[in-house]
Amino acid sequence: MCGRFVSSTTPDRIASYFGATFDTEPLPANHNVAPTNDVYAVVADAAAQPAVRSFHWGLVPSWAKDVKIGSKMINARAETVAEKPAFKPLLRSKRVIVPMDGFYEWKVVPGQRTKQPYFIHRRDGEPLAVAGLWTAWRDRDAGADAPWLHSCTIITCAANATMAPVHDRMPVLLPPPVWHAWLDPDNHDLDGLTALLVPAPDELLEMHPVSTAVNNVRNKGAELIEVIDLDDVELAE
């Protein structure tokens, strides 16, 4: 799964990187994005052009009774996304790219008291372009004037050789040549779209161990991604 990530790049830089527009309220830099947080995503606007918008992380389907279901729908599996009723209609026309500076994953280490977190990012320092889906929901009990909540989920696939020693899943990372096809709301080719949902090349990513301070969602600072020395990690007796 993908349950925590880093979003510290400014929205104007994200817009420039993806050739998109940006006209929404900026979000604070967050080195420990957690489910139910607001995140940036690139989506096709009314003119089918890429635009950076804010989304609630955790998909809230249009039929949901309340937003709480979103905390259970932060990820969609690539292997079943074209089959699940909650995701298949969105795969047809409501797709996003979630930009990340990197993400965290936890490894079980024999003899260590807690799982060891790792920060995973691109070797070249470029942003990750993560495949996702979005939808809109509003509280029917609040009346016709209730605001819309735009939410998203991140698509995951089997881990590549780089990720496998830490976890068996990873987010789907889209290369630049397929960004347009992924965002195009008129592209309804499910076979072609699901063919994009594959593990990233092994050489694209690198990782390093970080402090267990990332385990606390209240910690948001840049120090969370700093490399630690595993020799200093306390082992169980």
Structure tokens of 229? 């020395």
Tokens of 49: 């052009």
SS3 30: strand
d(CA 156, CA 168): 10
Single out the residue of 113, 219, 207 nearest to residue 165, CA to CA. 207
Specify whether 2 is catalytic: yes
- The residue annotated as part of the active site, out of 25, 105, 126, 206, is 105
Number of other residues whose CB lies within 10 A of the CB of residue 204: 17
Task: Decide: 88 and 59 in contact? Cβ < 8 Å.
Answer: no
Task: Check if 157 is active-site.
Answer: no
Which among 11, 10, 9 is positioned nearest to 21, based on CA atoms? 11
Catalytic residue among 2, 25, 126, 223: 2
Q: What is the distance between the alpha carbons of residues 51 and 44, in angstroms, rounded to a whole number?
A: 6
Looking at the chain, list the stretches that DSSP marks H as alpha helix, in order from N- to C-terminal side.
11-18, 88-93, 179-183, 190-194
Nearest to 103 by CA among 218, 207, 228: 207
Total Cβ atoms within 10 A of residue 179: 18
List the catalytic residues. 2, 105
